[in-house]
Amino acid sequence: SQTIHQWPATLVQPVGSPLSLECTVEGTSNPNLYWYRQAAGRGLQLLFYSVGIGQISSEVPQNLSASRPQDRQFILSSKKLLLSDSGFYLCAYERQGAPHEQFFGPGTRLTVL
């Protein structure tokens, strides 16, 4: 069976500090990986997706970046956080050969003060 992990679960960071959120998937190879941000009243916004190691597609120009250093690892980063970066960050995976079904992780609650 597959599982998806995210950490940390919660994070409080000052404005201008760096950010690194990690997502890992177990039990499947070469998954498609996604980062979403959820803000109140705005649903889930797709930030980045990756179909393989080193490949990143950006959906929304912003203060964030993503990387995929290993097959089942997806990292969301920022060099300098803004207040507007606060939100609930969700990682999701999609199995190769099984499209149309994304499985979400437990999320990271980020508060920028």
Partner 1 sequence: QQQVKQSPQSLIVQKGGIPIINCAYENTAFDYFPWYQQFPGKGPALLIAIRPDVSEKKEGRFTISFNKSAKQFSLHIMDSQPGDSATYFCAASQITNFGNEKLTFGTGTRLTIIP
Kindly identify the residues of this chain, within the stretch 49-108, that bind partner 1 according to CB under 8 A. Answer: 49, 51, 55, 57, 59, 90, 92, 94, 99-107
What residues does 93 pair with on adjacent strands?
Answer: 33, 103
Q: Phi and psi dihedrals of 28, rounded to 5?
A: -150, 150
If the CB atoms of residues 13 and 104 are measured against partner 1, the closer one turns out to be 104
If the CB atoms of residues 73 and 109 are measured against partner 1, the closer one turns out to be 109
Q: The tokens 């919660």 sit on which residue?
A: 10
Instruction: For residue 85, give the 3-state DSSP assignment.
Output: helix
- Work out how close the CB of 102 gets to partner 1 at its nearest, in angstroms, rounded to a whole number: 6
* Exposed/middle/buried for residue 19 (C-beta within 10 Å: 0-12, 13-18, 19+): buried
Kindly identify the residues of this chain, within the stretch 19-38, that bind partner 1 according to CB under 8 A. Answer: 32, 34
Binding site for partner 1 (CB under 8 A): 32, 34, 41-46, 49, 51, 55, 57, 59, 90, 92, 94, 99-107, 109
